[in-house]
Homo-oligomer: A and B are copies of this chain.
Amino acid sequence: MSLLKTKNFISAHDVTDINALVAKALDYKANPFKDKTLGTGKRIGCLFLNPSMRTRLSTQIAAQNLGMEPIVFNVGSEGWKLEFEEEAIMSGSTSEHVKDAAPIMGQYFDILAIRTFPSLANKEDDYSELYVNQFIKYSGIPVLSLETATLHPLQSLTDVITIKETFKEKRKPKVVLTWAPHVKPLPQCVANSFSQWMNAWGEVDFVVTHPEDYELDPAFTGNATILHNQDEALKDADYVYVKNWSTYTDYAKIYNNDPSWMLTLDKLKHTNNARVMHCLPVRRNVELSDEVLDSPHSIVTREAGNRVWAAQAVLSELLGQLNS
């Protein structure tokens, strides 16, 4: 039975059973080539409208592990700028409309994987997921998100896998998502997505902490405990997920970039010997101190490694739908 409710993988809501998907991923981690012919003759097009390292490499590897042919295309540098606005008079800098490009991807590929960042200029467009929804609407084939304007589901699935894999006690772990300083305005998508998946998974006590003015969209944080006092939030934490984001309400601003929010070993003292997570890339000594990243608290390398198995589990489900 399919672990996906839809033919796409964009958010936690596309998954019927998160624990089963995690188990599938860990199964692939133990035996990467167990389904090495599942994707024979199937192609995945990986379109990057924005740069990527871990996401690109892990998706490419996951596809190859399943016997698929991944084709990577960097839209910006190898092709040209796409237009997303309906009825646009294309006399400006965009050379091709998604309405024309997406159906062709649907002719060339069996699955379309896309990374497309938010504009950070138009909140309505970003939060309506205009770009990826246009690809879904016009490509006619299953679409796998490699990070979109508001969500990063393969990262979040990876995060669930990593918590599941490392937490061995019988109780619910306390998981704290903490805002961290940065040098430029970043999307909210990793924070939104992590919140969405923690809530959908439901097997953790979930706390979000950030300075005032950095409230996330409640559609994602849901019933999480939200605190503006980082020390209070970190108390007894089993996992600390560190991430910067720019403001959501007054969109995409940096209001306060208080360096005291950088996670240090000292702050970890009040946790339950917490494991520290980050989606990477991380600005050392801005978001997280060297002493934390280089300590046994950090599980960021394991976390990044797990990206392969998250992608492989999801691709396997998408292939299963194609083959059925």
Residues of A within 8 A of B (CB): 33, 41, 43, 45, 48, 51-54, 56-58, 60-61, 64, 69, 71, 73-75, 77-80, 83, 87-92, 95-97, 99-101, 103-104, 107-108, 183, 280-286, 290, 293-294, 300-301, 304-305, 308
Contacts and interface: CB of A to CB of B under 8 A. Distances in A.
Given A104-B301, A280-B100, A305-B104, A52 B33 contact: no
A64 B60 contact: no
Contacts of A282: 96-97, 100
Nearest to A287: B90
A223 to B, nearest CB: 33
Contact of A80 (B51, B61, B89): B51
A80 B101 contact: no
Contact of A308 (B99, B108, B183): B108
Contacts of A78: 48, 51-53, 56, 74, 77
B283 A95 contact: yes
B301 A107 contact: yes
Given A69-B64, A77-B77, A304-B107, A53 B284 contact: no
22 contacts: A43-B61, A45-B57, A51-B80, A52-B78, A52-B79, A53-B75, A53-B79, A53-B80, A53-B101, A54-B104, A57-B108, A58-B108, A61-B108, A89-B286, A90-B284, A91-B286, A92-B183, A96-B280, A97-B284, A100-B284, A107-B304, A108-B305
